[in-house]
Amino acid sequence: MNKYTLIIWLYFTIFFIDSAPITSKSNSISLKKITTKLLLKEGLQFYKDHHMLKYQSIFVTDQARLISAKKRSENLTRSNVIGYYGEITVGNQAFRTLFDLGSSDLWIPSQNCTQHPCSIHRRFNERLSKTFRPINISYSVKYGAGSVYGTLGQDNVLVGEIESVGQIFGLAWKEEGSFFETQEFDGIFGMGFNNLSSIKTPTTFSNMVEQKAVKDPCFGIYLERSDDAGHRGSLTLGGIDKTKFTGNLNYNNVSKFNGNYSVWIIDVDDISINGHKLNFKTKKAIFDTGNDLILMPDKDAKIYHKFINGSSFNNGTYFVPCRTTDLVAYIIGGISYNIDQSDLVTGSYCYSSVQPAGDGDTWTFGDPFLRNVYSVYNIKNYSIGLAPVSKTA
């Protein structure tokens, strides 16, 4: 190859890279659902246990249930993790992270985390990033059925084309637990409030806001409903994607826990089934993309299923007819959000998408709720905006 063919070749390479179809806007990235399916009874139990362990510091009061959840999760070898992940760049290296509304730390595996399950993931090589700075402080973070240990570091983090300069994050030397057994994500990108951070450092998104890298202090989440194989979504930082919903966003105030904002939780007025209001009061729901269920304490799940035609209960699990035709709507801030009938059922055995777990008056809205709305999370005025998803999006 002579000099000219090389130049022409380079020109075409650059030209073709540049003209590659742009699949997402610069402040939007696509999210992909982890493909693990909820096939086994063990899987359903995993969600309930993982959920209880994840939110134990916030609302779980039943210590006996917590201990048995911990024991069961230790015994699992293959996890049934559900969540949405996307690509980020740390320094000059690409990672896939789970975008988690229910935690507030960013961490990725370190190059020197050589043991399983780190060994099945991409790992950060400090020496290859000129912008990296080590911070000699150790950390550990618990995620329900998993824990990570390591030290802190500082580098520039890119999501789409939005940058957090000098972001402090965790570099894991050790991962434990079935939660990390999937190959689909390397680390976790926490999107809760700063007060929930285990490593006590501002979240990547809050730094983007402080550094004025984004226009508005909010991010929008859209989860696509399609075949199991193609579950996708999108995350828009610093704005909203108006093509994904119909009508207006209705904003709801986030509640504090122990005087601090921590998880994304709002009041829920009631549920209506076939036009009949169930008369729930004083309920709250945590928004969690990492859950394939809607979870409610036993007493609430029981009331809900009384109104679902043909539902049954067996050994802690609710089942519904596979093609249930009931019209379910969640009423929030005076607005009804209809649930698509396909979201009333989950898994291969026609499990109900509403299952019992949790304490008090706290529910968790996982994907069967979130797929029906476009949701916007505002970290400055502590609100969640909701609108029904656009059917044509």
Tell me the window of 161-169, 225-233, 250-258, 289-297 that interacts with ligand NAG (CB under 6 A). Answer: 250-258
**Which residue, 14 or 120, is less far from ligand NAG as judged by CB?**
120
**Which residue, 127 or 391, is less far from ligand NAG as judged by CB?**
127
CB of 89 to ligand NAG, least distance (A): 21
Contact 331, 278 (CB under 8 A): no
* Contact flag: residue 309 with ligand NAG (CB under 6 A): yes
Q: Residues 342 to 381: which contact ligand NAG by CB under 6 A?
A: 378, 381
CB of 262 to ligand NAG, least distance (A): 8
Tell me the window of 29-37, 51-59, 176-184, 255-263 that interacts with ligand NAG (CB under 6 A). Answer: 255-263
Cross-strand partners of 283: 268
* Contact flag: residue 45 with ligand NAG (CB under 6 A): yes
Contact 213, 162 (CB under 8 A): yes
Considering the candidates 105, 155, 186, 288, report the single residue annotated as catalytic: 288
List helix spans (H) across the chain: 3-18, 41-54, 63-75, 204-210, 298-306, 367-370
Is 343 catalytic? The answer is no
Sheet holding 362-365, edge to edge: 265-268, 283-287, 362-365, 294-296, 354-356
Q: To which H or E segment does residue 284 belong?
A: strand 283-287
Q: Residues 71 to 90: which contact ligand NAG by CB under 6 A?
A: 71-72, 75
* Contact flag: residue 136 with ligand NAG (CB under 6 A): yes
> Which one-letter amino acid corresponds to residue 187?
G
Task: Single out the residue of 173, 183, 123 nearest to residue 148, CA to CA.
Answer: 173
Contact 238, 219 (CB under 8 A): yes
In degrees rounded to 5, what are phi and psi of residue 224? -75, 145
Three-state secondary-structure class, residue 127: helix
In degrees rounded to 5, what are phi and psi of residue 298? -45, -50
51: left (phi over 0), alpha (psi -120 to 50) or beta: alpha
Contacting ligand NAG (CB under 6 A), which of 13, 226, 243, 260? 260
* Contact flag: residue 247 with ligand NAG (CB under 6 A): no
Here's the x/- map for ligand NAG, 184-223, by CB under 6 A: it reads as: ----------xx--------------------x-x-----
Is 49 catalytic? The answer is no
**Which residue, 28 or 201, is less far from ligand NAG as judged by CB?**
201
Active-site amino acid positions: 100, 288
Binding site residues, ligand NAG, CB under 6 A: 41, 45, 71-72, 75, 112, 136, 173, 194-195, 216, 218, 251, 253, 258-260, 309-310, 315-316, 378, 381, 383
